[in-house]
Amino acid sequence: MRALSRLLRLRNTSSTSRPSRCRHIRQYSSAVATARLNNSVDYSTTPLLNHTSQQCLSNPELPEHIRKSKTKRINLFQSVNEAMREALMTDERVLVFGEDVQFGGVFRCSLNLAEDFGTERVFNTPLSEQGLVGFAIGAASEGMRPIAEIQFADYVYPAFDQLINECSKVRYRAGSTGMHCGGVVVRMPTGGVGHGALYHSQSPESLFTHVPGLRVVIPRSPVQAKGLLLAAVACNDPVIFMEPKILYRAAVEQVPVDGYTLPLDKAEILKSGSDLTIISYGTPLYTCNAAIEAAEKDLGCSVELIDLRTIYPWDRETVLKSVKKTGRAIVVHESMTNAGVGAEVAATIQEGAFLSLEAPVKRVAGWACHTGLIFEKFIIPDVTRVYDAIKKTLDY
């Protein structure tokens, strides 16, 4: 089961970094020759990534001293690695563990950490998700800052009881004793990867956004991953940190070399617009961006794109302000529509921006089915579906 991951990585690389080959060799995530909208995302030119050091350092969310510092070009797994390295270096309470973490992790996120910080701080656990998450809660309850890894978000369910009945409730039930397990960060690769089928492509974030006491974070890029992961480690609330695994190698950008944090309660407006707001997070942001580029060209509209970043508690203010301005909204995510994050966002918009709405809030999300291997590209929202949603919402 876990051995699959190496396979996933290899395929992921070939289909994303060399899109030109797709026409000659049949790839799982290749584009159709006639496609105008559904082309592979070109991560080397997307405006969602910082291709120059200057772009990266102009980010006003970065602390002043970071904005004057150096950057380097790394991908998402390397930025997760950098964040954990920084956390291990600056805080002796930090532990990093999970299944196959010691040799570097099946996605290379913990590469070289065991060698540099010792196997007492970076180590393998037995193959038991409930065991290792329970272990993390106990260690945090006694003052450590554990970063636990679930190898795939699809395998988090054995630890569900520990996360929902324990992790999220420790502070509340402890009351004035002040005991808590803040400091727990549970990392997990999430989302579709083109050929992950039923158990290597799930996006279970909405199962956690229904739980008070947890924070759910999904970064879209290396810069975000590093800053948000370091903020998660520093945060005194337990954090579920979901890393879009298709971006591990695909998303490459300039990232500050030093450690920095990004806010855990703020959405980010990636592109401003005046006719429609698209709210999304993680991988679909790239899909949305491609759809917006095509729609703006074809339809002459102006679309605002918002990255939620923190899925719960989430930044309602930024979203409502945007929808009040544009009057139209679409929510996009990979997991299925019913009771997904989109349901919460759409309901909140309906409550908070009712008088501004000029069209129903549209949800573009996974269908009510499992991710059958050969059907993935029909199930996970693609550029065409987002493009069509923009068109329909504007035409309403």
Partner 1 sequence: MSLRYGARSIRPRRNLYAPACFNPSQAPSIARSWQRWSSVAESPASERVLFPGALKSKFTNDLAFIRPAELEAIPTYRVMNQDGVVIDETRDLGTTDEEALTLYRKMICLSVMDLIMFEAQRQGRLSFYMVSTGEEGITIGSSSALDPSDVVFAQYREAGVLMERGFTLDQFMNQFFSNCKDFGKGRNMPVHFGSRELNVHTISSTLATQIPHSSGAAYALKMQAKLNPDLPGRIACCYFGEGAASEGDFHGALNIAATRACPVIFLCRNNGFAISTPTSDQYRGDGVASRGAGYGIDTIRVDGNDIFAVRQAIKEARREALADGGKPILVEAMAYRIGHHSTSDDSFAYRQKVEVEDWKRRDNPITRLRKWLEGRGLWDEAKEKELRSKVRKEILVAFDKAEKEKKPALKHAFSDVWENFTEEQKSQMEELRSVLERYPEEYDIEQYEGGLDSLKEDLKQ
Which residues have a catalytic role annotated? 129, 200
| Residue 388 in the binding site for partner 1 (CB under 8 A) | no
**Buried (b) or exposed (e) across 332-360, using 16+ Cβ within 10 A?**
bbbbbbeebbbbbbbebbeebbeeebeee
Judged by CB, which is closer to partner 1: 6, or 392? 6
Q: Tell me the window of 166-174, 186-194, 269-277, 377-385 that interacts with partner 1 (CB under 8 A).
A: 166-174
SS3 277: strand
283: nearest Cα among 255, 246, 312, 249 = 246
Least distance (Å) from partner 1 to the CB of residue 206? 16
Contact 190, 282 (CB under 8 A): yes
Q: Tell me the window of 66-74, 107-115, 300-308, 374-382 that interacts with partner 1 (CB under 8 A).
A: 107-115
Least distance (Å) from partner 1 to the CB of residue 347? 13
Among 12, 78, 110, 125, binds partner 1 (CB under 8 A): 125
Query: Judged by CB under 8 A, how many residues of this single chain contact partner 1?
Result: 69
Among 82, 154, 237, 307, binds partner 1 (CB under 8 A): 237
| Residue 10 in the binding site for partner 1 (CB under 8 A) | no
| Residue 354 in the binding site for partner 1 (CB under 8 A) | no
Among 54, 58, 236, 274, binds partner 1 (CB under 8 A): 236
Q: Is the dihedral of CA 129, 130, 134, 135 positive or negative?
A: negative
Contact 248, 212 (CB under 8 A): no
Q: Mapped to the 3 state alphabet, what secondary structure does 40-54 carry?
A: CCCCCCCCCCCCCHH
Least distance (Å) from partner 1 to the CB of residue 209? 11
- CA 48 to chain CA centroid, nearest Å: 14
Contact 349, 320 (CB under 8 A): yes
Least distance (Å) from partner 1 to the CB of residue 362? 24
Pairing of strands 268-271, 303-307: antiparallel
| Residue 110 in the binding site for partner 1 (CB under 8 A) | no
Cα gap 228→346, rounded to integer Å: 25
| Residue 259 in the binding site for partner 1 (CB under 8 A) | no
SS3 113: helix
Q: Mapped to the 3 state alphabet, what secondary structure does 192-224 carry?
A: CCCCCHHHCCCCCHHHHCCCCCCEEECCCCHHH
Among 53, 124, 318, 356, binds partner 1 (CB under 8 A): 124
List the interface residues with partner 1, window 86-105 (CB under 8 A).
Answer: 88-92, 95, 100, 102-103
Among 67, 72, 169, 377, binds partner 1 (CB under 8 A): 169
- The site string for partner 1 over 135-154 (x = CB under 8 A, - otherwise) reads xxxxxxxxxx-x--------
| Residue 119 in the binding site for partner 1 (CB under 8 A) | yes
267: nearest Cα among 275, 277, 276 = 277
243 beta partners: 189
Judged by CB, which is closer to partner 1: 239, or 389? 239
Least distance (Å) from partner 1 to the CB of residue 177? 4
Q: Residue numbers of the site for partner 1 (CB under 8 A)?
A: 3, 85, 88-92, 95, 100, 102-103, 112, 114-121, 123-126, 128, 130-144, 146, 158, 161-162, 165-166, 169-180, 182, 212-213, 215, 235-237, 265, 313, 316-317
